[in-house]
Amino acid sequence: MAYGVQTSPSMASSSTRDAAFKREIWIPPIGLGGSLVLPQGAQAIVAFAHGSGSSRLSPRNNQVASALHEHGLGTLLFDLLTEQEGLDRRKVFDIPLLADRLLLATEWLAQIPQTRALRVGYFGASTGAAAALVAAAEGVREVCAIVSRGGRPDLAGPALQRVRAPTLLIVGSLDSVVLDLNRAALAGLRCKKELAIVAGATHLFEEPGTLDEVTALAGRWFARHLIAEEQADV
């Protein structure tokens, strides 16, 4: 079944200096809304999987997305859960459910004309990082790069060993428990992988300059594995 980008009168399009295509959209396979931005000449797109208690309106993920636009990368930020589902802690930590929603959104990107030819990457935060890794391991469409910000990749379990996409784990040096969990998850990954530790950062990267470092690390990783490797294949 083919899909188009569906908008409503309250989801009007707008032109911006850095985006050739910017829409508040509706993703029919999962019945949830999102924000789709494609810079002029975008060669790849990054789908965001937010963490527990967050949404597509996350200021941190939106800051990262804006930085990726500067690299010529499109972004899809969307809600993994409905507002009601978000109140259920069991669903918030239901990694298979979150991964399934991400997979459906990825399949939708492969159907609509604006994105069907673009290479795909995932950016996951907190529990969203585990969902991104599980989706990459189980999905039909190839995922070419993954970045985790303060993530819980350990919650991906056995799926870690099946991930083939180059994966960057970014953790704050002061987020000691999550840092240990990321080190353990790194050992379980069999793909190209790196662990980047941001000095002086806690879990949410609220300290001055730390989120800027996250955006720089993510931008370089995606530029290398979503754009540079595509050009090398030509």
| Residues 54-99 pLDDT 10s | 667 778 888 999 999 999 999 999 988 888 887 788 888 899 999 9
**Which amino acid belongs to residue 7?**
T
Residues of the domain holding 208: 21-233
The reply to whether 78 falls in a domain is yes
H or E element: which one contains 215?
helix 210-222
Biggest CA–CA distance in the chain, Å, is 49
The reply to whether 201 falls in a domain is yes
- Is the confidence at residue 230, as pLDDT, over 70? no
Number of domains in the chain: 1
Q: Kindly state the tokens that stand for 61.
A: 């993920």
Q: Is the dihedral of CA 23, 99, 146, 179 positive or negative?
A: positive
pLDDT at 37: 96
- In the sheet with 167-172, reading across from the earlier edge strand, the strands are 21-27, 32-38, 73-78, 44-49, 119-125, 143-149, 167-172, 193-198
pLDDT band at residue 17 using 50, 70 and 90 as cut-offs = very low
For position 88, which CATH number holds?
Answer: 3.40.50.1820
pLDDT at 110: 94
Higher pLDDT, 30 or 11: 30
The reply to whether 2 falls in a domain is no
- Output b/e per residue, 113-133; b: 16+ Cβ within 10 A: ebbeebbbbbbbbbbbbbbbb
The reply to whether 228 falls in a domain is yes
Tell me how far the alpha carbon of residue 83 is from its chain's centroid.
20
pLDDT at 19: 59
Identify the weakest region by mean pLDDT among 12-16, 58-62, 142-146, 210-214. Answer: 12-16
- Is the confidence at residue 226, as pLDDT, over 70? yes
Residue of 118, 35, 123, 46 lying closest to 79 (CA atoms): 35
Distance, CA of 216 to CA of 208 (rounded, Å)? 14
- Output b/e per residue, 193-230; b: 16+ Cβ within 10 A: bebbebeebbbbbeeeebbebbbebbbebbbebbbeee
The reply to whether 122 falls in a domain is yes
Identify the weakest region by mean pLDDT among 59-68, 97-106, 180-189. Answer: 59-68
Asked whether 186 and 178 are in contact (CB, 8 A), the reply is no
The reply to whether 7 falls in a domain is no
The reply to whether 14 falls in a domain is no
The reply to whether 12 falls in a domain is no
Looking at the chain, the whole-number percentage of residues with pLDDT higher than 70 is 87
Looking at the chain, the whole-number percentage of residues with pLDDT higher than 90 is 69
